Structure 1
Amino acid sequence: MTSSKPKSSYVVKFASTEADQDLLQAVEQALSDQTYKSFSDLCKQALRLMLIPTETPVALPLLTVLEQQVMTLQLQLMQLEQRSKEAQAAHAPAQNYTELQQQVEQLTERVSWLEQKCATLEEPPTPASDAPDPLLSRLAPLLEDF
């Protein structure tokens, strides 16, 4: 049931808040540009845009088609991700084998380098020359007498 009292006018009050004052300035600018005949026309147009749906029946099927295409693309993306994971899993053993081979080669090189270094350390020092030390030659008879 509708009320018997007709409502034909409403009052809009703008508070002193920054948001309301910004809105008031926008309203005054729109009225000064003479885009709308009156404040009433401006309010009616704003209310129409906000409250009355403007979607045309043609837009709904287009939206449905777009949604289906998005779902199809998402499905394809998931399939590609799955294939990528499977491909990585298939190549992982071969890649691990190659990495292990490289590590073995590096270790072999290090072992041979260490063996060479150890061999140079184990070589006996070159014997000193057999020339007698003159100081020892003089001290030797003294020690024998003692």
Structure 2
Amino acid sequence: MTSSKPKSSYVVKFASTEADQDLLQAVEQALADQTYKSFSDLCKQALRLMLIPTETTVALPLLTALEQQVMTLQLQLMQLEQRSKEAQAAHAPAQNYTELQQQVEQLTERVSWLEQKCTTLEEPPTPASDAPDPLLSRLAPLLEDF
């Protein structure tokens, strides 16, 4: 069973332009490295890569679009963080004022407590009773005898 299509042969001509000469050198290097069996195999592989889409070439635009969306989201996140910092800075004086007010109230309560404690300590102690202690009055003559 032979193919009904006739075999085709194509010729590649390299012009004397710098781009063509660079390409020719790359082709000669690939053939010298024996990466490909023949010039025909090299051309077929290059044409496959260029003309037949692979999963990678199909996924590349999708990946690029996703990367762009990620960058957009990162930019939006940075903007939100900046706005949040600005909002906190705007509310910070009011919050600081409230905190200072609470601290002043706590200190006022402490001062009042200390004043009450000082007043209690300054009151004269209750005078000792002038009645002699019965135990001491019995022991006093014994001590005098000694």
TM-score (norm 2): 0.52
The answer to whether 1:3 aligns with 2:3 is yes
Deviation at 1:128, TM superposition (A): 2.7
Indicate how the Cα distance of structure 1 residues 118 and 75 shifts in structure 2: closer, same or farther if over 3 A, else same: same
- Are the structure 2 counterparts of residues 135 and 84 from structure 1 closer, same or farther at C-alpha, using a change threshold of 3 Å? closer
Q: Which is further off, 67-76 or 38-47?
A: 38-47
Distance 2:128 2:9 in 1: 123
**Is residue 2:129 matched to residue 1:126?**
no
Return closer, same or farther for 1:108/1:59 CA change in 2, 3 Å cut-off: same
Write out per-residue CA displacement over residues 85-109 of structure 1, whole angstroms, 9 at most, x where no aligned residue: 1011111111111110110010000
Query: How has the CA–CA distance of structure 1 residues 67 and 17 changed in structure 2, closer, same or farther, with 3 Å as cutoff?
Result: closer
Once the two structures are TM-superposed, the CA of residue 52 in structure 1 deviates from its matched residue by 12
The more displaced of 78-87 and 61-70 is 61-70
- Alignment length, in residue pairs? 146
Does the C-alpha gap of structure 1 residues 144 and 13 become closer, same or farther in structure 2, counting only changes over 3 Å? farther
> Please, which moves more after superposition, 10-19 or 77-86?
10-19
Q: Deviations over 1:37-59 (max 9, x none)?
A: 99999999999999999444432
Q: Percent identity?
A: 97
Measure how far apart 1:126 and its partner are: 1.6
Change (3 A) 1:67 1:33: closer
Cα distance in 1, alignment partners of residues 16 and 113 from structure 2: 85
Classify 1:125/1:36 alpha carbon distance in 2 versus 1 (closer, same or farther; 3 Å): farther
Change in CA separation of 1:131 and 1:68 when aligned onto 2, cut-off 3 Å? same
Kindly provide the CA deviation profile for residues 16-61 of structure 1, in whole angstroms up to 9, marking residues without a partner as x: 9999999999999999999999999999999999999944443222
Q: Which moved more, 1:112-121 or 1:26-35?
A: 26-35
Tell me: CA distance 1:44–1:142, structure 2 relative to 1, closer, same or farther (3 Å). same
Does 33-42 or 8-17 show the bigger shift?
8-17
- 5+ residue gaps, structure 1, are none
For 1:99 and 1:122, the matched residues in 2 are separated by 35
Q: 1:26 to 1:76 in 2, by over 3 A?
A: same
Report the TM-score, using the length of structure 1 for normalisation: 0.52
